Amino acid sequence: MTTPYERTRTVVQTREFLEKLASGDAPVNHQKVQEEAIRLLRHYPLDFDLEISSTALPSVWASLPG
């Protein structure tokens, strides 16, 4: 079970990870990228979590299409 702290931490860490990849400063090790993506996805918000968030905070999150 993912806690709110783990979910929040993962969103922040995912942003940092994507910023690092986008910067192009470091050489890319595909194995490490895959391992980090798997680690981050473990607690990344699911569609269900986003729907709950959009209901509670419609000024921050939108409902998912479909």
Q: 13-48: per-residue pLDDT in tens?
A: 999 999 999 998 878 899 999 999 999 999 999 999
Task: Record the tokens describing residue 44, joined without a space.
Answer: 């990344």
Structure tokens at 43: 């607690």
Average pLDDT over residues 56-66: 91
What is the pLDDT, as a whole number, of residue 36?
Answer: 96
Distance CA(39)–CA(15), nearest Å, equals 14
Alpha carbons 7 and 2: distance in angstroms, whole number: 6
CA distance 47 to 10: 15
Tell me which of 8-17, 24-33, 49-58 is least confident: 24-33
pTM: 0.84
